[in-house]
Amino acid sequence: MAPILLNCMGNEHNEYIKQQVQVKNPYLGTMEEDILYHFSLSTRTHNLPEMFGDIKFVCVGGSANRMKAFAQFIHHELKLPGNPEEIKDICDGTDRYCMYKVGPVLSISHGMGVPSISIMLHELIKLLHHAQCRDVILFRLGTSGGVGLAPGTVVITEKAVDYSFRPQFEQVVLGKVITRSTELDKGVSSELLQCSTELENLPTVIGNTLCTHDFYEGQGRLDGALCSFSHEEKLEYLRKAFEAGVRNIEMESTVFAAMCRVCGVKAAVVCVALLNRFDGDQITSSHDVLVEYQQRPQILVSHFIKKRLGILA
């Protein structure tokens, strides 16, 4: 009996550990205090388990205003008490990122590009770890350029891929390149796709997302301050991307996917396409149209959250 019992406890323990947000740094446990500098939070000055221990969903996106609007929207959708207009930025001690807590949902901005989001993710993952959060799902709610898609289409990322369409993220550490997988959670992606079929006016596809380090040359645009290639060369690269399953292009998905995966956090990337890159480079839609497009990933993820919380049938 004893070995069976031990084995059983071992599995339960492993399950418990798996559901926790894991940091992969042996030094962290030896530190007396951990200062999350860009959040203006610290383990000594803030009771992180009390402040954040109930977080189950974290939604991140580039713009501070968009993530505030999302926090107000999800407050309304979850029918929480209080005035959403009075929602407070937890990171108001810094203007690097903004952060809003709405019941079990955390809404955070990450700025543009891999370096900006990766700094935010280091501190977010440590925050969730220090707060002893369990069963957390992270979503990136963003905008992107569509590849062969009508503007307004929402793309749920199957694989986040690099400039050669490989599902990997390369990080330089001490002068050496470390390569990490960018696979995302298949279960969450297909649940999101199912959610999209339950909503009106939300054209949605699953496809690969190309992550670049630049908006202009890096995404094959002909309208930057620099351009060293022809229109035909641009179209050839986009065609190759399309053949590799790429349906949209943005600037954070690979590091987002890689860091979440290493730390045992389920993650999904949901970005709306603002234009079809086969048709041009400039974003010509009106402000109102763009605002409506940006709400689409929010509506989809809010539906997912409400279903998970049992607020919807």
Ligand X SMILES: O=P(O)(O)O[C@H]1O[C@H](CO)[C@@H](O)[C@H]1O
Ligand Y SMILES: O=c1cc[nH]c(=O)[nH]1
Give the Å distances, CA to CA, from 303 to 83, 86, 139: 21, 23, 13
Smaller CB separation from ligand Y, 263 or 275: 275
CA 4, CA 283: separation in Å to the nearest integer? Answer: 62
Of 168, 169, 110, 163, residue with least CA distance to 141 = 110
CB of 290 to ligand Y, least distance (A): 10
Smallest distance, Å, CB 310 to ligand X? 29
127 is in an annotated binding site: no
Compute the least distance from the CB of residue 145 to ligand Y, in Å.
Answer: 3
Q: Among 301, 302, 309, which residue's Cα sits nearest to residue 77?
A: 302
Here's the x/- map for ligand X, 38-77, by CB under 6 A: it reads as: -----------------------xxx--------------
Smallest gap from residue 220 Cβ to ligand Y (A): 10
> Can residue 145 be called a binding residue for ligand Y (CB under 6 A)?
yes
Pairing of strands 99-102, 105-109: antiparallel
> Of 62 and 152, which CB lies nearer to ligand X in the complex structure?
62
Regarding 278 and contact with ligand Y (CB under 6 A), the answer is no
276: enclosing H helix or E strand: strand 266-276
The candidate with the shortest Cα–Cα distance to 110, out of 135, 81, 139, 87, is: 139
The item of ligand X, ligand Y, none sharing an interface with residue 219, based on CB under 5 to 8 Å by kind, is: ligand Y
> Which does residue 63 touch among ligand Y, ligand X, none (CB within 5 to 8 A, set by kind)?
ligand X
> Is the CA virtual torsion 27, 33, 37, 41 positive or negative?
positive
> Is there a binding annotation on residue 20?
no
CA distance 149 to 154: 9
List contacts with ligand X (CB under 6 A): 61-63, 112-113, 142-143, 215, 250-252
